[in-house]
Structures are given as structure tokens and as C-alpha cells.
């Protein structure tokens, strides 16, 4: 079966005239991320599957900068919804709403270069 994405609507926010903005928040500290959560702003965060150590499988060189970019075999994205003293609550696209260990979650976030996006 071939899936054609040419008909997929990539202008969801614009067409509905929603007052939402995406912001690259990569490099944010745990404190900065926690501040977004306290404001009611969920944070999309790149971690690894099951918060396991990153598994590098090749990569590529960025033509513009000559910088090498690693390719991770176990890259995963979750939406962070709440931050507690020892746990975080996330929406995991594979498992649904789950609670994870805060330290393990943020260790994985940091191991992948602190990649995050907020939509507000």
C-alpha cells in the first residue's frame, strides 16, 4: 500500500485561525521547562524509547556548516504535561498518558542534546 501525503493538510493552525505559535525551546534547562509547565504550556521533548541510552547509527554532514549530525536509532518524542518532585507525566504516542521517573526522563533529554518545542 502506498500512502500519498500530498493531500495532507499541514496548515492546521493557520486555516483554523488559531492563535498558536511554535517556539524552538531546544537547550532549555529543567527549570525553564518546568516554568513552561507551570504556565500551562505543554512541552514537546525528544528523548529515547523507554529512556534507554541513545543508540547512534550513522549520521550525515550538514552541507551548510560541515557539522556532523548523529542519527539515533531509538529517538522518541513525548509531550511533557507535568513535573513533580520525582516524577513527570507525559503523553507518549506509543503508551498514552504515563508517569516516568523525573531523573531518567531529563537524563534522556540531555543525552539527546536538549531538544524541545513549545506551542502556545
Between β-strands 22-24 and 96-101, what pairing exists: parallel, antiparallel or unpaired?
unpaired
pLDDT of residue 16: 81
What top-level class would CATH report for the domain 21-119?
A: alpha beta
Eight-class DSSP state of 53: P
pLDDT of residue 19: 83
Record the pTM: 0.80
| Percentage of the chain lying above the pLDDT 90 cut | 68
User: 70 in helix, strand or coil?
Assistant: strand
Reported as a single tens digit per residue, the pLDDT across 21-78 is: 889 999 999 999 999 999 999 999 999 999 999 999 888 898 889 999 888 899 999 9
Strand order in 87-92's β-sheet?
A: 22-24, 116-119, 43-48, 75-83, 87-92, 96-101
Q: What mean pLDDT value characterizes the chain?
A: 88
pLDDT of residue 12: 66
**What are the residue boundaries of the structural domains of the chain, listed by start?**
21-119
Instruction: State yes or no: pLDDT of 88 exceeds 70.
Output: yes
Amino acid at each position: 500500500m502506498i500512502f500519498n501525503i500530498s493531500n495532507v493538510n499541514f496548515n492546521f493552525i493557520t486555516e483554523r485561525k488559531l492563535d498558536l505559535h511554535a517556539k524552538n525551546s531546544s537547550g532549555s534547562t529543567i527549570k525553564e521547562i518546568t516554568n513552561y509547565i507551570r504556565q500551562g504550556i505543554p512541552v514537546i521533548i525528544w528523548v529515547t524509547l523507554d529512556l534507554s541510552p541513545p543508540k547512534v547509527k550513522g549520521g550525515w554532514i550538514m552541507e551548510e556548516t560541515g557539522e556532523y549530525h548523529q542519527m539515533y536509532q531509538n529517538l522518541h518524542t513525548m509531550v511533557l504535561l507535568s513535573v513533580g518532585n520525582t516524577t513527570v507525566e507525559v503523553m507518549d504516542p506509543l503508551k498514552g498518558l504515563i508517569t516516568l521517573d523525573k531523573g531518567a526522563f531529563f537524563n534522556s533529554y540531555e543525552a539527546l542534546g536538549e531538544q524541545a518545542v513549545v506551542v502556545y
